Structure 1
Amino acid sequence: MTGINVKLKKNNRAGFTLVEILVASTIFATIIVVVSGVFVSALKEQRRSFDTQQVQETMTYMIERMTKEIRVSEILEPATMGDCVSSITIQHPDNGIVKYYKTDGTFEANRDVLSSLAGPVTESSILNFNLVEVVDLKFCIFGQDPDDSYQPRVTIIGAVRATGSDSVENFQTTVSLRQLQSQ
């Protein structure tokens, strides 16, 4: 009887067949591909979310800066109203003459700073950051004619996107000037 048990033990091999190894490898590779795909998708979504956050922060900064200055200023250029133009020049009570405009994907403000010794000096500053590109910027002026009895207001329309991105964020806001028209 001991001889029979020995033969049975020899035929009972401990190990995996080629088919079992192929099935296990295929399942493992499929799991790795799925997990890698989820990880890459999460990274792309995180990057897109970061870009959107940068764009929104820059838009908020640009809009706040313009509206604060336009609200208390007098519009010098353009003199025509109703048409949307690409730049606006204002006379600010504290900052002097300020011109807002878009050039080469950046949003700039030129200020004529009055110096006591050297005379007028023009100072230019870029209001958006390198991570954000200004796609479009327009200023629509209404109510500037003294005879129309409307409160002067400026509608700022623009579009901004993260540098290297195709996703464009649009914005629009209207600012009423504090100067009242009286007849």
Structure 2
Amino acid sequence: MKILRSEKGFALAFVLILAVIALGMTLAMLFMVGRGSFVSGQQKSYRTAVEASRGGMEAMFQLISSRGLPTTPFTNQVLSAGIGTKLAGGIGTWGGLDNSMTINPAVSTTYDMRIDLGAYRVYSKVVDTVDGNSGADEGLLKTAVVNSGSGEVTVVSVPYLYTIEVLSERISNPTERSKISVLYQY
């Protein structure tokens, strides 16, 4: 039996193997670039939703400072009837008002305020209130440059604590959303 020692097809096979390896590396690079663009787009959408949540949080702070009376007109603003009760007293005085952490945009009793901020709809709700003695405006109460009444007892201000849930979602695409929880001292 005669062994063939011809190397005529070796160069062709070697070039084909190198071409397959180069093609695989090129496909891997294209996949990584495409995946990076996708993740970057997702992060941008999420950051925008978080900014809308922060805007809704600021609107809720304004509502708390006015004790439930809307002072700033927002687009498509809806307030629940029990928001004043939630802001004025602890959870024991709420009666049948919702205090769960979940917000369902389809059910209006699961949120206290709804507003539209640009392309986003923001839902917020007070989940818990801890009573305090702070009022809407304390300013320079019992403070001055000169202490004239040394026998006066000043009442220590104990602020209200509010636990607030905020959910924002894009009006045209509800899967673009963010949810934040806030502990607010007022």
TM-score between both structures, scaled by the size of structure 2: 0.51
Alignment map for 1:30-69 (pairs within 5 Å) = 30-69=24-63
Q: CA deviation at 1:133?
A: 7.3
Matching residue of 1:104 = 106
The aligned counterpart of 1:77 is 85
What letter matches 1:55 in structure 2? A
Alignment of structure 1 residues 7-156 onto 2, 5 Å? 17-73=11-67, 76-78=84-86, 81-82=90-91, 85-86=97-98, 103-104=105-106, 109=113, 126-128=115-117, 130=119, 137-143=125-131, 150-156=158-164
Structure 2's unaligned 5+ residue stretches are 1-7, 69-82, 135-156
Count the aligned residue pairs.
131
Q: Percent identity?
A: 11
TM-score of the pair, normalised by structure 1: 0.51
Larger relative contact order, structure 1 or 2 (CA cutoff 8 Å, min sep 6): 2
Task: Choose 1 or 2 for highest CA Rg.
Answer: 1
Counterpart contact for 2:89–2:131, Cα < 8 Å: no
Greater strand share, structure number: 1
Superposed CA RMSD:
4.1
User: What is the CA deviation profile of residues 79-113 of structure 1, one whole-angstrom value per residue up to 9, with x for unaligned ones?
Assistant: 652268548xxxxxxxxxxxxx963289774xxxx
Give structure 1 stretches of 5+ with no counterpart: 1-12, 88-100, 110-124, 177-183
